[in-house]
Amino acid sequence: MGTPEFSVPVLEEIIGQGHEVAAVYTRAPKPAGRRGLEMLPSPVQAAADRLGIRVLTPKSLKSAEEAAIFASLEADVAVVVAYGLILPKAILEAPRYGCLNLHASLLPRWRGAAPIQRAIMAGDKETGVMVMRMEEGLDTGPVALVEKVAIDPETTAGELHDRLSQLGADLMGRALAALSRGSLIFTPQSEEGVTYAHKIDKAEARIDWSLSAQALHDRVRGLSPFPGAFFEADLGKGLERIKVLRSLPIGGGGQPGIVCDDALGIACGEAALRLLIVQRAGKAPMTAAEFLRGTRIVPGSFLGAPTA
């Protein structure tokens, strides 16, 4: 049971280990293209179709009919990785060994929808992946296996996503192997240190230059490559949205939002932030030097008022 690209390596690992996958549950295809006439399957559905596995895409699992369909699969265990739908009690209890979830944080820290982004945005130095048995609560179940990783100061959410996806596939493979031997042991989560990784709000992506350079750097990393932290500037044709994909905290400063050098260093509430890789609307990512060519942005330029 999974939907995004993050889930695909787990499915491939399960198949590679020789497990029988009774069915794949994923979110329904979404309209794509300019007119929305094409339906784009989820990455997990595309993988399942390639592997010749039955795919089910219910909008909800809360009905008795969907519970009956799920129970008819007679699964030993359900593997859940970023599925996107709530699993009611009837679903959680249907498989013989319950539902195993792969979660991309060190629970109980960052329960919820956006653990990878939130860990980086908070400046965490460490995160990981965990295999837990699902309960009705949000990521509250007991944990069986964990793999920890360090978060380097320049790591982006995209890079951490890819690393945890591969580590998670290996971890879930080990969990299923232990489960088949009857040696998978679960430990209750600590009641201390609980935090929630709420979905990223669009407003969070707008850069507020009154924040410290370090806080903005962590936000840039946590939102790169998607949705991308951004500011607005007039490059000659009115205000234009510019995403920042890589940055570097530097010394210096001044009024927040002022360009303080000729290498795209921007004064912040504390210190300054050098923008290394940016992206204009409809353009490919580019270096600061490429971006500055032919623009009106020079030392002393003001990149918008800080937001509250």
Provide the residue ranges of all domains of the chain, joining segments of one domain with +.
5-197, 203-292
Residue 138 has pLDDT above 90, yes or no: yes
- pLDDT tens track for 216-271: 999 999 999 999 999 998 887 888 999 999 999 999 889 999 999 999 999 999 99
Cα distance between residue 60 and residue 67, in whole Å: 10
Whole-structure pTM over 0.85, yes or no?
yes
- pLDDT tens track for 70-82: 999 999 999 999 9
The yes-or-no answer to whether 5-197 and 203-292 have a common fold is no
Cα distance between residue 210 and residue 12, in whole Å: 45
Quick one: fold of 203-292?
A: Methionyl-tRNA Fmet Formyltransferase; Chain A, domain 2 (3.10.25)
Q: Do 6 and 165 touch, CB atoms closer than 8 A? A: yes
CATH number (3.40.718.10, 3.20.20.100, 3.40.50.12280, 3.40.50.170) of 5-197 reads 3.40.50.170
Q: Do 207 and 272 touch, CB atoms closer than 8 A? A: no
Helix then strand count (H, E) for the chain reads 8, 15
Per DSSP, helices labelled H in the chain are: 8-16, 43-51, 64-72, 89-92, 115-121, 157-181, 213-222, 288-292
How many Cβ atoms sit within 10 Å of the Cβ of residue 114? 18
Residue 127 has pLDDT above 60, yes or no: yes
- pLDDT tens track for 85-106: 999 999 999 999 999 999 999 9
